[in-house]
């Protein structure tokens, strides 16, 4: 029931992404999806951090494209984005990050970005370069489905997944439109530990996953503010993938030096990898 088909003649890695998620499901576990911004703490340091997270046990990594006004991100990721931008990170550095992470690991690497940088850069150029770098796709949290036709045309042509975000506030009709247009997986966004109790928010996320699954055969992966193995196991019990971002970034920010930061994110990935296997 997914909308976009996979283009076997392209250079993008949507098939690798789908196969990775399917392999996790076959092993009766959720996939561990990590998020780290490109250029943080430096371009080389960010690439090393992604490799460390993969070494620790992440199945998939989302590379954030730092933005000057990351309105949907919390203060931890905003801080990392600011460091990357002050360091002069460019889209070319994001592509290099994807290329080197994929080449070193052979694992799926996506880009997560707001729409404005792509729009300014050029959709055709961005999708072609991301595919050439070995990227698996793009997560576009602020691109409305009804305005996404041009992006999806170029993404499909280049073998890239288009991952849309759904929220508890999404009505059934909108859920169906979003999931029909997307490919790769569906990103289900909720909150943990910010509003309400953890139990009630967990229930809300579980309900969102069930509602989303009623509209699609795509895997449904949840970003919930997970920061430890226990929370990862809680989400893995009902989701196809557990997405962790701020916890990794915070480990890097809190580290006294880059080597300590790499060790910290590698260790966290290992803890979370254990958690997603306790479903």
Closest C-alpha to 100, from 35, 54, 154 = 54
Q: How confident is the model at residue 12 (pLDDT cuts 50, 70, 90)?
A: confident
Looking at residue 180, its pLDDT comes to 97
User: Which burial class, exposed, middle or buried, applies to 11 when counting CB atoms under 10 A from its CB (0-12, 13-18, 19+)?
Assistant: middle
- Span 16-42, pLDDT tens digits: 999 999 999 999 999 999 999 999 999
Per-residue pLDDT of 137-187, as tens digits, reads 999 999 999 999 999 999 999 999 999 999 998 899 999 999 999 999 999
Q: What is the mean pLDDT of residues 8-18?
A: 78
- Tell me the pLDDT tens digit for each residue of 244-262: 999 999 999 999 999 999 9
Crossing angle of helices 43-56/91-105, nearest 10°? 30
Catalytic residues, by residue number, are: 62, 73
Distance CA 233, CA 138 (A): 26
- Domains of the chain plus CATH, in order, are 29-277 (3.20.20.70)
* pLDDT tens digits, one per residue of 57-103: 999 999 999 988 766 778 899 999 999 999 999 999 999 999 999 99
Q: Does residue 34 contact residue 74 with C-beta atoms inside 8 Å?
A: no
8 Å CB contact between 39 and 89: yes
């Amino acid at each position: 029931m997914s909308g976009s088909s996979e283009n076997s003649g392209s250079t993008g890695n949507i098939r690798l992404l789908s196969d990775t998620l399917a392999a996790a499901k076959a092993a009766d576990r959720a996939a561990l999806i990590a998020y780290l911004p490109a250029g943080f703490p430096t371009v080389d340091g960010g690439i090393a951090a992604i490799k460390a997270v993969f070494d620790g046990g992440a199945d998939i990594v989302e590379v954030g494209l730092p933005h000057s006004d990351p309105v949907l991100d919390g203060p931890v990721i905003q801080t990392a984005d600011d460091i990357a931008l002050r360091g002069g990170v460019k889209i070319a550095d994001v592509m290099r990050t994807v290329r080197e992470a994929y080449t070193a690991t052979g694992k799926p690497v996506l880009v997560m970005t707001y729409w404005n940088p792509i729009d300014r850069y050029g959709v055709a150029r961005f999708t072609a370069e991301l595919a050439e770098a070995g990227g698996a796709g793009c997560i576009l949290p602020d691109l409305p489905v009804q305005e996404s036709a041009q992006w999806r045309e170029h993404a499909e042509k280049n073998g890239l997944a288009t991952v849309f975000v759904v929220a508890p506030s999404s009505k059934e009709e909108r859920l169906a439109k979003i999931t029909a247009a997307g490919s790769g997986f569906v990103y289900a966004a909720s909150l943990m530990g910010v509003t309400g109790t953890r139990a009630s928010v967990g229930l809300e996320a579980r309900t969102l996953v069930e509602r989303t699954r009623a509209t699609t055969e795509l895997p449904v992966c949840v970003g919930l503010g997970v920061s430890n193995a226990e929370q990862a196991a809680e989400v893995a019990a009902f989701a196809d993938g557990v997405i962790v971002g701020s916890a990794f970034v915070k480990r890097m920010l809190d580290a006294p030096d880059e080597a300590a930061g790499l060790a910290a994110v590698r260790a966290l990935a290992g803890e979370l990898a254990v958690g997603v296997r306790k479903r």
